Structure 1
Amino acid sequence: MLIFISGAVRSGKSTFAESFVKNYATEAKYIATSIRIDDEMSDRIVHHQKQRAEGDIKWQTWEQPCNLTELTFHEDDVVLLDCLTILTANELFHDDEDALARIYKGVSHVKTQCKLLIVVSNEVFQEGIPEDEMTREYMYVLGKLHQQLVQDADEAYLVVHGIATKMKG
């Protein structure tokens, strides 16, 4: 089963995703894609770690900024991938050739191994088309991934101001 959750930066999508896991498990796996590149990112990582520690779910975390195909899960695992947006940037900076196919293959790899995969991603498409080529490529790849994953998803949600709206399923 695949659930896709998207929303703007700090919209509450990660909180919604983490609370959504409670419907399926008391123990879950967490794929963290962020890299500590500055103080703000470190603060966000610590915030998410504290948030998970305070909840009812026992989390096992993998820090995996690239190469999801390296991960192994069990058929009864509930897995939360947070977030596709950062994974996409990491993969593009790592090696932009065939990044779209590589990321989709990685997400599909995880999905086929576990009972439930929840993917969190940002909506970055509200501000129009950027002028620089690298940002346009990033948005193209992320947009295609969103379309493919929502098509594959059993359920899809859009989170705005902490309120989740079911878009599919």
Structure 2
Amino acid sequence: MEKGKLIFVTGGVRSGKSSFAEELATDWSRELDANLHYIACGVPSDKEMRQRITRHQENRSIASINWKTWECPTNLQRISSNFSKQDILVLDCATTLLNNYLFDQNINDSSVVMNYMLTDIFSLQEASSGVIVVSNEVMQDVPHQASVTRKYQYILGNVHQNIVEWADAAYLVESGIPVCKKGGAENERDNDPGNCF
């Protein structure tokens, strides 16, 4: 079976990365006449997370296209059979998925966590017309002294590199402005970020 497209969108906290990914998915779904699916990895574990989840839900509810939301904190490959080549997926987000494996599932082996995450993402890519993976850019800081944070940075950095290696396009969103980092030099001169791939 032919793999769907893979797009990676990363950025700092409140950079506009999720909004950009949703806009990109919406435009893409109109172009292909495809269904939109939002795979939410967030677990409402505290007040801040509940507020973030509510904000994202409200944004999707006022969108011009209907979204089907899947609440799935781990083991995303188990829902991949629900998708077809008529579906565009937004996975939000890789850092939350990592948190869930490390801290909720208590998986300590870095290679096992990376394998789970990449299996999740690539199974969604294979099942759908395309998947947009949203992540947080926490790798620009110096390695942290705490071993748990260093491990987190190590895993996330390696997962990011693997995704980008296989991605058709990759974006870094800063202050609401998406910058195409991979996807075609001729399109980087074009002001339309959706033309990156």
2:28 aligns to what SS in structure 1?
Answer: coil
Q: Does 1:59 align with 2:67?
A: yes
- Whether 1:161 and 2:178 are equivalent positions in the alignment is no
Aligned to 1:46: 54
Residues 15-164 of structure 1 correspond to what in structure 2 (within 5 A)? Answer: 15-26=19-30, 27-71=35-79, 72=81, 73-93=83-103, 94=105, 95-97=107-109, 98-164=112-178
Q: What value does the CA root-mean-square deviation take over the aligned residues? A: 0.9
Structure 2, unmatched stretches of 5+, are 184-197
Unaligned runs of 5+ in 1: none
- How many Å separate the matches in 2 of 1:34 and 1:110? 17
- Please name the residue that 1:6 is paired with: 10
What secondary structure sits across from 1:23 in the alignment? helix
**2:98 counterpart letter in structure 1:** T
CA–CA separation in structure 2 for the residues paired with 1:134 and 1:66:
20
For residue 40 of structure 1, what is the amino acid of its counterpart?
E
Q: Offset at 1:96?
A: 2.8
Fraction of identical pairs, as percent: 41
What per-residue deviation string (whole Å, max 9, x for no partner) do you get for residues 103-141 of structure 1?
101111111000010000000022211111111111111
How far, CA to CA, are the matches of 1:138 and 1:127 in structure 2? 12
Aligned residue pairs total 169
Find the aligned partners of 1:57 and 1:2 in 2 and give their Cα distance: 21
SS at match of 2:51: helix
CA radius of gyration, larger in: 2
Q: How far did residue 76 of structure 1 move? A: 1.6
After superposition, give the CA deviation of every residue in 1:129-154 in whole Å (9 maximum; x if it has no partner).
Answer: 11111111111111001000001000
Q: Secondary structure at the match of 1:125?
A: coil
Letter paired with 1:96: N
- Structure 1 stretches of 4+ moved >3 Å: none
How big is the shift at 1:25?
Answer: 1.3
The one-letter code sitting in structure 1 at the alignment partner of 2:88 is V
Task: State the TM-score, normalizing by the size of structure 1.
Answer: 0.97
